Amino acid sequence: MELLGRQEVWSITYDHALGETASSFYTRIRDEAAIYGRRSAGNGRVMVPPRSFSDETLLPTEDWVKVGPGGKIEAFTMVYESFKNLPPPPYAFGYVLLDGADTALGGFFKGVDLSDPAAAAEKLKIGTRIMTKFAAERKGEMLDFWFEVDSPAR
Amino acid sequence: MGLKVQPGVIGCTIRPVITGRTRSLEEIIYDTAQMALADAGLTIDDIDGICVASNDQFDGRAISVMMASGSVGGVDRDILSTPSAGEHAFILGALRVATGQFRTQLIVSWSPTEVSSMPEAQRLGTDPYFHRALPLDELSAHALQASALEHALPGARRAAEAVAAKNRAQGGARPEEGTSRWPLTPSMTSQPVTGAVALVLASPDFIAERGMTKIAWLQGMGWATEAGFLGDRDLSTAPALEAAARQAYAMAGVTDPAHAFGVAEITDATPYSELLAYEALGLCRRDEWESRTADGSFRVGGRLPVNPSGGVLTWNPVFCTGMIRIAEVAQQVRGRAGAHQIQGVKRGLAHAGSGFAMQYQSAIVFGSEVRT
């Protein structure tokens, strides 16, 4: 028999409240071109991205700490499919432990040719030093910054 | 510490892949629940409570227990839903029997493929503050974990390739491979399929009253959850699974896990997930991964057959793969695992891992004896 289907496309808009902590993280990126974390009460760990409380101690975090812009790669992957609301693929992204931070920040890696994955993976290998770069015009969002492999000092 | 009342699996149906479009999702869930009840020799009137688990994004139905209640017999009956992970429905149902307030439980989980993009549906699982602007789906998270493991342990890639080959061969070498996501190759992943699974649990007095045999007794279980942000975790380790295993083994009286089981089913979302589980479950140290995967220790016929079903790398109904691992081990202990039955299984181990780089971890021990 003839089997039918029903295609549906839902377009629902959410207006998520970022709260004071995430708002401050993004406005500092926008206005200062700098990454800040929050120091956790109890264990002193600097959490990046910042949280208003620690999920380890369950205490409120205490103060802002400027981290980076240098850091090192903790994990990375390369993605070849397109995702909605993101720039065109391929992407390299992963997690970076910025200098002065105790947790790693997710972000895109740029400046590496991804057409040869094995060669790109060698350049992005874990432990590699990176530098955080900021867009000239910033909107206060994740795409305002990215990571580039730090060139060796000449 | 054991459970106050020890549940046993008395009925089970595993549908790791469902093809065609002759049945709607609600009808698939109905079929699955009915098959498990029939396997137990029960009707819905014998069931004291129902636990279901599904993923609203995959289902395309918010609070999907609303539409599933009728399919599983939940109308005017006790029914609860666990959206966190398929295996959590099993844990909830087992705990309900263990309270002594329920003699039977029907557990059902499912995972359809009706959404246009599983990766996009999975991205909705990330927080809207820091991670949705990244191409972060479950496969990306698994790939990040694989990259961390390859860095932590030279030789991990060779071991992962051996695990992938083992599971694909044991599953009948399903030809369709998954998606590449560095460092994961298509043979290390599998395309999502539609699947469903159901179990019936009962208390010892119910089982005795009905004179039932072929029981998989729940001897131990443990579960734990890792941090939600991947950057907070050391992705080359699995501390939540270590905690879950400790809990399960203490309950089951297992002191030497490497030699305690006749079979294991491990959630191999990627072969790296299986390798990490070997270590966290106490089956094999990481410095032995390469040698043990090369010498066939974990193949069917080896020291401990792992994933005789073929695992997730063979069939990947994403949301219910963890509960399928639990059901597979229950069936092995019941002697009803079909073509991939391992002979003489007295005790088996199931690992259920779910979410981004296995955020949710569970370990379940089944045995053919009512007490350890």
Residue among A47, A77, A81 whose CB faces B119 most closely:
A81
Same fold, B8-116+192-210 and B124-190+219-367: yes
Give chain B's end-to-end CA distance (angstroms, integer).
11
pLDDT in tens, B276-319: 999 999 999 999 999 999 999 999 999 999 999 999 999 999 99
User: What is the pLDDT averaged over residues B240-247?
Assistant: 98
Residue among B182, B229, B231 whose CB faces A78 most closely:
B182
Contact with chain B for residue A57, Cβ under 8 A = no
Task: For an interface test with A, give the residue of B114, B116, B129 to mutate (most A CBs within 10 A).
Answer: B129
Which neighbouring-strand residues pair with B221? B364
Task: For an interface test with B, give the residue of A23, A81, A102, A147 to mutate (most B CBs within 10 A).
Answer: A81
Per-domain boundaries in chain B = 8-116+192-210, 124-190+219-367
List of chain A residues whose C-beta atoms are within 8 Å of the C-beta of residue B134? 86, 93, 106-108, 142
List of chain A residues whose C-beta atoms are within 8 Å of the C-beta of residue B133? 85-86, 141-143
Q: Please give the residue of chain A at the shortest CA–CA distance from B128.
A: A16
Contact with chain B for residue A119, Cβ under 8 A = no
pLDDT in tens, B319-349: 999 999 999 999 999 999 999 999 999 999 9
B242 CA to chain A: closest CA distance, Å? 18
Q: What's the CA gap between B25 and B185, in Å, rounded?
A: 31
CA-wise closest residue to A97 among A87, A85, A107: A107
CA-wise closest residue to B5 among B257, B210, B207, B245: B207
The CATH number given to B8-116+192-210 is 3.40.47.10
Residue among A14, A86, A95 whose CB faces B135 most closely:
A86
- Residue B350 tokens read as 């199931």
Residue among B21, B129, B151 whose CB faces A3 most closely:
B21
pLDDT of residue B159: 98
CA-wise closest residue to B272 among B154, B161, B138, B122: B161
Tell me: domain B124-190+219-367, CATH 3.40.47.10, correct? Answer: yes
Cβ within 8 Å of residue B30, ≥6 positions away: B70, B71, B72
List of chain A residues whose C-beta atoms are within 8 Å of the C-beta of residue B179? 81
Q: Which residues 80-109 in chain A show a CB within 8 A of chain B?
A: 80-81, 83-86, 89, 91, 93-95, 103-108
pLDDT in tens, B130-176: 999 999 999 999 999 999 999 999 999 999 999 999 999 999 867 67
pLDDT of residue A41: 85
User: Is B90 in contact with B364 (CB distance < 8 Å)?
Assistant: yes
Task: For an interface test with A, give the residue of B130, B149, B181 to mutate (most A CBs within 10 A).
Answer: B130
pLDDT of residue A154: 41
Contact with chain B for residue A78, Cβ under 8 A = yes
Does pTM surpass 0.95?
yes
B345 CA to chain A: closest CA distance, Å? 40
Percent of chain B predicted with pLDDT > 90: 92
3-class state of residue B57 by DSSP: helix
* Tens digit of each residue's pLDDT, chain A (154 residues): 999 999 999 889 999 999 999 999 999 999 999 999 999 988 999 999 999 999 989 999 999 999 999 999 999 999 998 998 888 899 999 999 999 999 999 999 999 999 999 999 999 999 999 999 999 999 999 999 999 999 765 4
